[in-house]
Structure formats: C-alpha cells, structure tokens
Amino acid sequence: MTSEENRSREQICEMAKSIYDRGLTGSASGNISLRLSNGQLLVTPTGSSFGRLDPARLTLLNQDFSYSSGDQATKEMALHSAFYETRPGITGAVVHLHSSHSVALSVLPDIDPENVLPPITAYGIMKLGKVKLLPYFMPGDPAMGDAIRGLAGKRSAVLLAHHGPVVAGKDLEAAVYAMEELEETAKLTLLTHRLQPNLLNDSQVRDIVTKFDVQWDD
C-alpha cells in the first residue's frame, strides 16, 4: 500500500466520523469515494456506519470501477461513477448523504427543480453552483447514474428526491465542505420558506458567479 493510499484511507474515515458525529447522516447511510493519483478509487463499504469505519476495510476499485480488494462497495456506486465519468479531471471525490434538511427540501412541491437552493448566501452559490433536483429512484438503482450522466457534467451537485444530496469536488475536503454548505443552505431555505425573504438579486448572483468562476449557465 502506498503512503498516498494509506493517508487517503485515514482521511475518509476521519471525515466520515466528523459527518456522523454532527448528525449529517445516521445509521449506516451515506457513502464516500475518493480517486487516487493512479486512478483507483477508495470507497466506503455497503452497510457501513460513518461513525465506525475501518480504514483497512474500505473498498479499493480499479480505474474501470471493477473490484480490487476490501469489503463490498456501496450499492450507490452508480452515483459516484457517473460523476467521475462526466466530470473527468475535476472530480477527485464524491460524497452522498441522507442529511435531514436536504431531504426535507427535496419533497417540497414549490421548489425549482433546476436549482433547488434559492440565493440566500454567496457561499451556497460559490461552493455549489446550481443544484439540480432529480426524481426518486429505488436505492441502488443504476438509473440514478444515468440521470447524472444526462446532465453532461454541468452540475457538481444534485439532490435526489426522497433520498438525499450527492456532491462532487476536486478532492475530499472540497466535496465535504460543499456538502456541508448544501445542507446549511437547505436548512436556511426551510427556515425562511414562504416568509418572502430578501434574496440576492440577479446582479449580485452574476457578480459572484463571475468573480469566483462558478459553473452556472447551462
């Protein structure tokens, strides 16, 4: 095992435990993948709790997503592989959670499916761009990956209805931070829902998109 792989195993477990300890995902829900410099991926195993991951038991996949070693990979690999395939070179990690506020937002009847997060803060725009709402799929359904591929790499984050968010980032830290921002913005959205909050206007949003080079337009 290389030193990079060893560090990456430890990082996944540390980040996952932090996510679990703060209640962002519970039970045996959620999954993480991280691409190594040789193209292989480390993935959290199916049925595992983020609070008790063992670095030695993480799944190692080959570049083509075939099994190499470790426990059986998460059944949600279709979500992960779709992001690596459609956003090559800019996806180094993928995080999927069942975080409460994001899931609650996904079932509201009056949200914009093209961008579920209103422009409440600059950071939600900076870290996530537009977040697409995808329809409900049975957990583990490969069609989830097809839905992400249908976005042609234009979104780094999606929200699965009745299920939870999926975020891709350049590395694990970036993906986790973006996921945390998504959940916090979802919480703010629910707190202000139907209260007619003052949102950032179109000009302010455009300034943020331009200054921070956010992927925004379709």
Catalytic residues: 76, 123
* Residue type at 128 in one-letter notation: L
Q: Which of 93, 103, 218 is nearest to 168 (CA)?
A: 93
Count, residues in the chain = 218
Cβ atoms of residues 55 and 9 within 8 Å: yes
Q: Please tell me whether residue 212 adopts helix, strand or coil conformation.
A: coil
What are residue 209's phi and psi, to 5 degrees?
-60, -45
Compute the CA torsion angle 10, 12, 13, 14 (nearest 10 deg): 80
